[in-house]
Structure 1
Amino acid sequence: MPRRRRVCMQAPLPILLAVALFVPVAPAAEVCPASQAVVQWKTEQVVQWLSDTVKLPQYSEVFASQEIDGLTLLYGLTDNELQSELGVKPHGHRKNMLRAIAQLQLCTRGHGSAGVPLAASSSGPNLQETSAGLNQQLYVAALEDAPDRGTVQLYGEHMNELKAAIMKELHEAGWDPKWIPNWPEVADLVHVSEETLDKIRSLGIGQVLQQRLQAVNSLRLKHNVWHKVSSIERAGVKDPQAHPMYATPGTQEWQELVSAAEAIRAYLLTFPKDIDAHVWARCVAFALADWPQVNSSLAAVYSMAHASARHVCSARPSQLSEQPLGPPHGHRMTKLPIGSEDCELASIFLLNIAHDWADTILLSHRDGASNVSLMEAALQAFEIRTRVYVDVDALQQFLVGPGFPPFGTFSFPNISHSSRCGLQHHQQQVEHLIEILQATSTCGSKQPASSRDEATAVQILTRFSGTCTEVVAQLRQAADAYGFAVRRGEESLGPRSDSATPGLQHDEFMLPADATQRILPYLNRHLHLDPAGAAISAEKSALSSPPGSEKWKQYEKLDPDEVFVIDGVFSPEALDGFLKFTERSTVFHGLKSGGYMCGYWHTGYAPPLFAQAYAELAAALPRVFCNHRLTQAWAYKYDDNEDHAPEDSWKTPSAGIGIHADEASVNVNCWLVPESSLTDAEKGGMLVWPTRPNVSEGGYNSGRHKTRWGQNESGHFILSTFLNTDTYYDLEETQAQRIPYKGNRCVIFDSAYYHATNKATFKKGFKNRRINLTFLAGIMHDTCEAVQSRSSAGKRAAAVSRIVGVAASVLERESRGL
Structure 2
Amino acid sequence: MKSPAPNPGSSSAKARNSAASELRAALQAYRSGRGRQAAELARDLLARHPDEAGAQYLLGVVLQEEGRLAESEAALAAAVSLAPERASFQITLGNLLLERGENARAIQCFRTALAIDPASTPALTNLGTALKRTGRVREALEAFRRALRLRRATARSAESAGQASDADEETFAVTSRAKLAHDSEQYQLLLDRGRLPASFASEVAALRSVLDTFGLEDRPSARRRLLPQEREKIFRSYNRLIHRPEDPPLPGAVLGSGWDAAAIEARYAEAIPPVVVIDNWLSDAALGALRRFCEEATVWFDCKEPGGYVGAYMNEGFDPEVLLILGEELKVRLPSIFGEHHLSQMWAFKYAATGPGTRKHADKAAVNVNFWITSDRACLDRSAGGIRVYPVAAPASWGFDRYNREDRELERLVARSELAAIEVPYRCNRCVIFDSSLIHESMPLRFRPGYENRRVNVTMLFGDRAEHTG
Paired position in structure 2 for 1:551 = 260
Partner of 1:478: 203
Q: Deviations over 1:426-451 (max 9, x none)?
A: 001111111111xxxxxxxxxxxxxx
Hey, what's the Cα distance between the residues in 2 that align with 1:659 and 1:512? 33
Counterpart CA distance in 2 for 1:616 and 1:140 is 45
SS of match in other structure, 1:782? helix
Deviation at 1:479, TM superposition (A): 1.2
**Partner residue of 1:283?**
105
User: Residues 502-517 of structure 1: matches in 2 within 5 Å?
Assistant: 506-517=221-232
Relative distance call for 1:640 and 1:400 in structure 2 (3 A) is farther
Aligned to 1:610: 323
Provide closer, same or farther for how the CA distance between residues 301 and 395 of structure 1 changes in structure 2, counting only shifts above 3 A: farther
The corresponding residue for 1:541 is: 253
2:434 to 749, 760, 767: 749
The CA distance in 2 between the partners of 1:393 and 1:550, in whole Å, is 40
Q: Note the C-alpha offset of 1:696.
A: 4.4
Q: Where does structure 2 lack aligned partners over 5 or more consecutive residues?
A: 1-14, 17-42, 69-73
What is the number of equivalent residue pairs in this alignment? 405
Cα distance change on mapping 1:480 and 1:689 into 2, 3 Å: same
Contact 1:659–1:729 (Cα < 8 Å) also in 2: no
The equivalent residue for 1:386 is 145
Say whether the 8 Å CA contact 2:161–2:172 is kept in structure 1: no
What secondary structure, in the 3-state scheme, does the structure 2 residue paired with 1:669 have? Answer: strand
1:148 to partner: Cα distance: 7.8
Deviation readout 1:450-509 (Å, 9 max, x if unpaired) = xxxxxxx4xx4xxxxxxxxxx2122x112112211211211xx499xxxxxxxx984434
Match of 1:620? 333
- Match of 1:690, SS state, is strand
The code of the aligned residue for 1:143 comes to L
In the TM superposition, what whole-angstrom CA distance separates every residue of 1:348-388 from its partner, at most 9, and x where no partner exists? 3332233334444x25xxxxxxxxxxxxxx44443443343
Q: Distance in 1 between matches of 2:441 and 2:290?
A: 23
Question: In the alignment, is the contact (CA less than 8 A) between 1:489 and 1:509 conserved in 2?
Answer: no
Instruction: Name the structure 2 match of 1:590.
Output: 302
The whole-number CA distance in structure 2 between the counterparts of 1:141 and 1:744 is 50
Matched, 1:726 2:452: no
The amino acid of 2:390's aligned partner reads W
Q: 1:347 aligns with which of 93, 106, 121?
A: 121
1:657 has 2:358 as partner: yes
Question: Do residues 433 (structure 1) and 116 (structure 2) align?
Answer: no
Deviation of 1:154 (Å): 4.4
Match of 1:305 among 117, 120, 123: 117
Distance 1:142 1:752, change over 3 A: closer
Q: Which residue of 2 aligns with 1:152?
A: 91
Partners of 1:676 and 1:300 in 2: CA distance: 52
For residues 73 and 427 of structure 1, do their structure 2 counterparts lie closer, same or farther at Cα, with a shift above 3 Å needed? closer
User: In the alignment, is the contact (CA less than 8 A) between 1:543 and 1:570 conserved in 2?
Assistant: yes
| Partners of 2:367 and 2:436 within 8 A in 1 | yes
Alpha-carbon distance change, 535 to 634 in structure 1, aligned in 2, over 3 angstroms: farther
Relative to structure 1, is the Cα distance of residues 570 and 620 closer, same or farther in structure 2, using a 3 angstrom cutoff?
Answer: same
Q: Identify the residue that residue 279 of structure 2 maps to in structure 1.
A: 567
Task: Give the Cα separation in 1 of the matches to 2:222 and 2:154.
Answer: 32
Please list, as runs of the form range in 1=range in 2, the aligned pairs for 1:456-471 lying within 5 A after superposition.
457=195, 460=196, 471=197
Whether the 8 Å CA contact 1:679–1:763 is kept in 2: the answer is yes
Distance 1:553 1:535 in 2: 28
CA distance in 2, matches of 1:141, 1:303: 14
Quote the Cα distance in structure 1 between the aligned partners of 2:164 and 2:212: 20
Distance 1:303 1:675, change over 3 A: farther
Deviation by residue 1:318-339 (Cα, 9 ceiling, x = unmatched): xxxxxxxxxxxxxxxxxxxxxx
Aligned to 2:9: none
Q: Give the Å deviation of 1:755.
A: 0.3
1:771 corresponds, among 436, 448, 456, to 456
For the aligned residues, what is the CA RMSD? 4.0
AA partner of residue 472 (structure 1): A
Q: How many angstroms apart in 2 are the aligned matches of 1:418 and 1:639?
A: 15
**Counterpart-to-counterpart distance in 1, 2:198 and 2:223:** 29
Q: CA deviation at 1:597?
A: 0.4
Matching residue of 1:498: none
**Residues 1:521 and 2:233 aligned together:** no
For the pair shown, which has the larger CA radius of gyration, 1 or 2?
1
Distance 1:379 1:570, change over 3 A: farther
Counterpart CA distance in 1 for 2:174 and 2:261 is 45
Distance 1:684 1:427 in 2: 24
C-alpha displacement of 1:753: 0.4
Q: Quote the sequence identity (%).
A: 24
CA 754–494 in structure 1, closer or farther in 2 if over 3 Å, else same? closer
Secondary structure of residue in 2 paired with 1:349:
helix
Unaligned runs of 5+ in 1: 1-38, 41-65, 87-97, 99-138, 157-225, 234-244, 247-281, 287-293, 310-345, 364-377, 438-456, 461-470, 496-503, 642-653, 705-724, 787-818
Q: CA deviation at 1:683?
A: 1.3
1:701 aligns with 2:404: yes
Opposite residue 345 of structure 2, the aligned amino acid is Q
Deviation at residue 729 of structure 1 after TM alignment: 5.3
Relative to structure 1, is the Cα distance of residues 404 and 669 closer, same or farther in structure 2, using a 3 angstrom cutoff? farther
- Cα separation, 2, equivalents of 1:700 and 1:629: 21
Is the aligned partner of 1:227 residue 2:97? yes
User: Displacement, 1:397?
Assistant: 3.9
Mapped partners of 2:341, 2:285: distance in 1: 27
CA distance in 1, matches of 2:94, 2:345: 18
Q: Is the 8 A contact 1:752 1:781 kept in 2?
A: no
Distance 2:284 2:309 in 1: 26
- The superposition leaves residues 190-210 of structure 1 with CA deviations (integer Å, 9 ceiling, x where unpaired) of xxxxxxxxxxxxxxxxxxxxx
Change (3 A) 1:494 1:745: closer
Alpha-carbon distance in structure 1 between the residues aligned to 2:205 and 2:220: 27
Q: Does the CA contact (< 8 Å) of 1:661 and 1:700 recur in 2?
A: yes
Aligned-residue offset at 1:524: 1.5
- Inter-partner Cα distance in structure 1 for 2:412 and 2:208: 37
Determine if contact 2:121/2:147 at 8 Å carries over to the other structure: no
State the secondary structure of the residue aligned to 1:754.
strand
Q: 2:319 is matched by which residue type in structure 1?
A: A
Confirm whether residue 737 of structure 1 aligns to residue 440 of structure 2.
no
What amino acid maps onto 1:392 in structure 2? R
AA of the residue aligned to 2:250: I
* Counterparts of 2:349 and 2:164, CA distance in 1: 21
Shift of 1:627: 1.9
For residues 70 and 614 of structure 1, do their structure 2 counterparts lie closer, same or farther at Cα, with a shift above 3 Å needed? same
Secondary structure of the equivalent of 1:586?
coil
Q: C-alpha displacement at 1:407, in angstroms?
A: 8.4
Q: Secondary structure at the match of 2:212?
A: helix
User: 1:694, CA displacement in angstroms?
Assistant: 4.1
Helix, strand or coil: the match of 1:617?
Answer: helix
Distance 2:428 2:328 in 1: 21
- After superposition, the Cα gap between the structure-2 partners of 1:404 and 1:628, relative to the gap in structure 1 and judged at 3 Å, is farther
| Cα distance change, pair 397–622 in 1 and its aligned pair in 2 (3 A) | farther
What is the TM-score normalised by the length of structure 1?
0.44
SS in 2 for 1:756: strand
**Match of residue 423 from structure 1:** 180
What amino acid is the match of 1:628? H
The DSSP-based 3-state class of the residue aligned with 2:370 is: strand
Question: After superposition, where does 1:70-219 map in structure 2 within 5 Å?
Answer: 142-144=81-83, 151-154=90-93
CA gap 1:349/1:392 in 2 versus in 1, 3 angstroms: same
**Which of 571, 579, 597 is matched with 2:291 structurally?**
579
TM-score, scaled to structure 2: 0.74
